[in-house]
Amino acid sequence: MRITAIREIAVPINSTIRNAVFDFSEMTTSVVAVITDVMRDGKPVAGFSFNSTGRYACGAQMRDRFIPRIMKAQPESLLNDTGDNLDPEKILACMMQREKPGGHTERSVAIGTIEVAVWDAVAKIADKPLHVVLAEKYNRGKLLTKVQCYVGGGWYAPGKGIKELQDEIRARLDEGYTTMKIKVGGATVPEDVKRVEAGLKVVGSSDRLAVDANAGFNRARALQYAQALKQFKLRWFEEPTDPLDYALLADVASIYDSPIGTGENLFSTQDIENLVRFGGLREDRDIIQIDVPQSYGIVQFARTLAMLKRHKWERRSIFPHGGNQMTLAIVGGFGLGGCEAYPDVFGVFAGFADDAKVENGWLKLSDRPGIGFEAQNALYAVMRGLVSRK
């Protein structure tokens, strides 16, 4: 058994949305296929992934370093002990050869994306959904059938006012979601307070509305928003500070009692450990939002969870960034707090199986082998194209 090829392609996301800091007009993502010599139904088993949302495609690192390292390794050195499947831990170690400590983002997205595609192949070879493979390995075999899922939305867009924001939230509730996250920080404080009040009117209770500042605040604005928003006791206040400004985050937490969420822009176990040691976060209410494919992938995520456990953080406090099937499988497999969804926002990269239905805020886990991209027609067409490419 061996990997016969690893291919990647950069695909534009084609989105007109904007958060407090930047627009997505140039955003791309890397789609990866890990092709094996294992045959099923006359076709080689291939694992797929993409690099989640919000970090640009990173094909150069993959082509220059990580793919050649895997392809140069002895095939047996990348297999599990029984030799009947690939071993993601060994493949991660293979990619990490000759890499200098620190400076994570330059490689963590490229490595994590390839690593998650390896897991898709592993689950397909085992003929099990990825969440089942992960539950057996990392959650004492505890199999879930559904996970909680909230909408990450409420973006700023040209011509979008309070009424349109409320229409957006209403449409999501009609689809079966119960909890909504909206952007803040792209307007003035009074305008954003009005948006929050308008959102609360639609969702009906404060624990069903979160806000996301996308790390765009300086000290003055972060503290101003914390003061202005604390009266609402929202589900959470996401990324009120620069991801690495742990001291300012601790200052925000000292005046903001309700939950804070952060972590989607920290890419290593050490960065997350620094966050919980120095960021003033409270393990009884705050949430951590690691993006797994952008942070070296699933093996490293398991190590991060072990570190968090030593700091008394439980899995229910982890809501990984990225509304996609990879995150869904990871949330279900590890038994995490919940999953994000981006209905209609990031083109073919948004969302779950084409026939997925949310019921009262819960989303069913896939029962297909692997991650289940095959149930997302438009996205799967891109992925399949990589396998047939010469």
Find the binder of Mg ion among 168, 212, 291, 340 (CB under 5 A). Answer: 212
Rounded least distance, CB 246 to Mg ion, Å: 18
Would residue 128 show up in a list of annotated catalytic residues for this protein?
Answer: no
CB of 57 to Mg ion, least distance (A): 20
Choices 92-100, 184-192, 209-217, 245-253 (CB under 5 A): range interacting with Mg ion: 209-217
Region near Mg ion per CB under 5 A, out of 85-93, 136-144, 205-213, 223-231: 205-213
**Minimum distance from CB of 359 to Mg ion (Å)?**
25
Q: Where are the beta strands (DSSP E) in 177-259?
A: 180-183, 209-212, 237-238
Say which of 124, 321, 357, 390 is annotated catalytic: 321
* Cβ distance to Mg ion smaller for residue 216 or 370: 216
Residue 321 annotated among the catalytic residues of the structure:
yes
Residue closer to Mg ion (CB basis): 46 or 341: 341
Measured from the CB of residue 226, what is the shortest distance to Mg ion in angstroms? 17
Tell me the window of 74-82, 116-124, 210-218, 338-346 that interacts with Mg ion (CB under 5 A).
210-218
E strands present in the chain = 3-12, 28-40, 43-50, 146-152, 180-183, 209-212, 237-238, 260-262, 287-288, 339-341, 358-359, 362-364
Asked if 340 interacts with Mg ion (CB under 5 A), we say no
DSSP string, 7-28: EEEEEE-----B-SS-B-TT-E
Q: How far apart are CA 55 and CA 294, in angstroms?
A: 8
Neighbours of 188 (CB within 10 A): 9
Choosing from 124, 131, 183, 364, which is the catalytic residue? 183
From the list 239, 305, 300, the residue with the least C-alpha distance to 107 is 300
- Per DSSP, the residues of 150-179 read EEE---B-TT--HHHHHHHHHHHHHHT---
How many residues bind Mg ion, per CB under 5 A? 1
Q: Which two tokens stand for residue 218?
A: 């300086």
Length of the chain: 390
Residues making contact with Mg ion (CB under 5 A): 212
- Active-site annotation, residues: 183, 321
